[in-house]
Amino acid sequence: MTAELTELIGRVVAEAEGEGLWPAGLAVAVPGLVARDARTVVRAPNLGWHDTDLGALLPADLPLTVDNEANFGALAELWLEDGTPRDFLHVSAEIGIGAAVVVDGGLLRGTRGFAGELGHVPVRPDGPACACGGLGCLEQYAGEEAVLRAAGLEPDEDRVGLLAGRAAKGDEDVRRALRDAGTALGVALTGAVNLLDPQSVVLGGELSGLAPWLLPSLREELARRTAGPACPVSVSRLGPEGPLLGAAHSVVRAVLDDPAAVAERA
Ligand SMILES: [Zn+2]
């Protein structure tokens, strides 16, 4: 997998240089736990990465930033969207489910950098076993594979596209599976909302494509369970590209923050 990534980076850098552009840095959005050194992927079960130091494996001639894809998605909301609140939760999904916690305009990372693992918040304490070692985690009810399974579908290359296509056509099994996933998301988010009191919850990344079928039950569950007034839930307008935009803009912002450091390398 890292060999494929290196090959892709080589191709993109060559393309950029062919157009007379100069790559200023490399940012990698990962669906998994990233250490606070911003280069080590501690655990990304869906990629098969475990204590993987991307800094040692990828080309060393570009400054590297590795972060969780939900974190990059949240940064994209902060940097690129007008009117984004300074306190919000950004929930996104690829195969798993991740979240970013934004407090006072900055990411809450936690001691080791692992904050926001919403996918492993228990929804039912006696539920099915999860790869993390827990039982009944949110991912077991609202992850793409779990939803496909609940709808009686085989995994496809484009899981979200398959689910959204079927749901749009009125497939009742898929709609029910997505409703149940929305309920599970609402249960897990209740804990986060009660604990952190954010101004809003934003559904981003691939989850945004399923929002029409997830949102009604998610909102209902969250409103029913939260202690205070219902927390608004919105859908990212950046869509599935959000995390990638956040990654790319993190490089641009590093240049703007310290142009002299870049000039030295050029
Ligand atoms: Zn888990």
pLDDT digits (tens, 9 = 90+) for 192-226: 999 999 999 999 988 899 999 999 999 999 999 99
Average pLDDT, the chain: 91
83-239: same fold as 2-70+242-265? yes
Residue 72 clears pLDDT 70, i.e. is over it:
yes
How many whole angstroms from 119 Cα to the centroid of ligand 1? 6
pLDDT for residue 78 is more than 90: yes
Distance CA 248, CA 26 (A): 8
CA 120 to centroid of ligand 1, rounded, Å: 4
Burial 47-57 (b: 16+ CB within 10 A, else e): bebeebebeee
Per-residue pLDDT at 207:
87
Is pLDDT of 153 > 80? yes
For the four alpha carbons of 44, 103, 225 and 148, in that order, the dihedral sign comes to negative
Distance 93 CA to ligand 1 centre (A): 14
Strands 64-68 and 200-203: what pairing?
unpaired
* Amino acid at site 101: V
Domain 83-239 has CATH 3.40.640.10: no
Other CB atoms within 10 A of residue 166 CB:
20
Q: Measured in angstroms, how far is the CA atom of residue 121 from the centroid of ligand 1?
A: 7
- Is the pLDDT at 87 greater than 70, yes or no? yes
CA 106 to CA 120: how far, in whole Å? Answer: 23
Calculate how far, in angstroms, residue 150's C-alpha sits from the geometric centre of ligand 1: 18
Residue-wise pLDDT for 224-255, tens only, equals 999 888 899 999 999 889 999 999 999 999 88
Determine the distance separating the centroid of ligand 1 and the alpha carbon of 96, expressed in angstroms: 9
Average pLDDT over residues 69-78: 95
When mean pLDDT is compared over 24-28, 128-132, 170-174, the highest value belongs to 170-174
Angle between helices 172-196 and 211-225 (to 10 degrees): 40
pLDDT at position 22: 84
pLDDT of residue 174: 96
CA of 133 to the centre of ligand 1 (A): 6
**Tokens (6 digits) for 15:** 């393309």
Helices and strands counted in the chain (H then E): 10, 10
pLDDT at 68 over 70: yes
100 CA from centroid of ligand 1 (Å): 17
Complete DSSP assignment for 20-67? T-----EEEEESSEE-TTSSEEEEETTTTEEEEEHHHHS-TTS-EEEE
Which amino acid appears at position 244 of this protein?
Answer: L
**Confidence (pLDDT) at 155:** 80
CATH architecture of 2-70+242-265: 2-Layer Sandwich (3.30)
C-beta of residue 25 within 8 angstroms of C-beta of residue 62? yes
- The pLDDT tens digits of the residues spanning 154-200 come to 887 888 899 999 999 999 999 999 999 999 999 999 999 999 999 99
User: What is the value of pTM for the model shown?
Assistant: 0.91
> Where does the pLDDT of residue 266 fall: very low under 50, low under 70, confident under 90, or very high at 90 and above?
low
Indicate the domain borders of the chain.
2-70+242-265, 83-239
Residue 246 tokens read as 């956040």
> 134 C-alpha vs ligand 1 centroid, how far in Å?
5
Q: How far apart are CA 208 and CA 9, in angstroms?
A: 27
69 C-alpha to center of ligand 1: Å?
Answer: 17
- Tell me which residues have their CB within 5 A of the ion that is ligand 1: 120, 130, 132, 134, 137
pLDDT confidence of residue 9 = 87
Q: Which residues of 199-218 are buried (b: 16+ CB within 10 A; e: fewer)?
A: ebbbbbbbbbbbbebbbebb
